[in-house]
Amino acid sequence: MKKLLPSLIAVKKITSQVPRDRFSAEDLESAAQLSLAASGLINPIILRRTSMQSYEVVDGHFEYYIAVRAREIDPRKGETIGAFILEPDNSEAIIEQVKALRQEGKKVDIPPVYPPEHSMETVTEMAVTALSEEIKQIKCSVNNLETIFQEKVEFLTQKIETTPVEQNILVGIEKMFDRKLEALRNEVKTGSEYKAATSKISYRNMTVSELKALAKKQGISGYSRMKKADLIAAIKNLSPEC
């Protein structure tokens, strides 16, 4: 059996089945002031667990309400109270002490003491399980954030690729190519029209001077010494389709 030592228990975690108004408010006030002056009560109360984080007064209801009043006066100084906690291995001995120490052999009505609903091992396992579940949820949240981030990146990439500025550039390039293509078509058309026009020329109706000028333009060598028939032949040889 462990050595019996009092524990400091938060007053707010304790309840009592005995009404407060059974004790004089004046007595409680006076005792609370003395308790604050001494930084605590000299007589620990006896508690039993009602859960892992709550207790009920077994003996020392007056002292409990002194602590309650002290906490009302000064929450910091009156935050805790000294108490013996009934456990399955010490409850019988403590109860017998209470009976022996009370004056006139008054019967002390002690409620049965049961083991805590959960042992420390079970509580530890529950805490580990809860922590593991929380870690799983965090990992799941991280994965979801990564997916959302990737989708945002893809969306922004597509948006950048189709910005109005780039669209205007593409339109300008298309228009430039259209103009170039149109110019090439015009050149082809002009060349065809020129050939068609020259094919209808009657060289025999041209003067020698006109023929020499045409021969010069077409780069025919020795045109200046040629006669009209030679000029016509040379021009036709240069443009066989005519």
Rounded to two decimals, the pTM is 0.43
Backbone Cα Rg of the chain: 56
For 26, 95, 103, the CA distances from 21, given in Å and listed in that order, are: 11, 26, 22
Residue closest to 229 by CA, chosen among 216, 241, 211: 211
> What is each CA distance from 79 to 35, 50, 63, 140, in whole angstroms?
12, 20, 14, 41
**7-117 belongs to CATH 3.30.413.10:** no
- Phi, psi dihedral angles at 40 (to 5 degrees): 140, 165
pLDDT in tens, the chain (242 residues): 567 788 999 999 999 999 999 999 999 999 999 999 998 898 899 999 998 889 999 999 999 999 999 999 999 989 999 999 888 877 777 887 777 776 544 444 555 555 555 554 555 566 667 677 778 778 777 777 778 877 777 777 676 655 666 667 767 777 786 787 777 777 666 655 555 555 556 778 889 898 899 888 888 888 888 988 998 888 888 765 44
Which residue has tokens 């780039």?
A: 166
Query: Domain residues of the chain, as ranges?
Result: 7-117, 118-161, 163-193, 201-238
The count of C-alpha atoms lying within 13 angstroms of the C-alpha of 216, restricted to the half-sphere facing its C-beta, is 8
> Under a CB-based contact definition with an 8 Å cutoff, are residues 235 and 213 in contact?
no
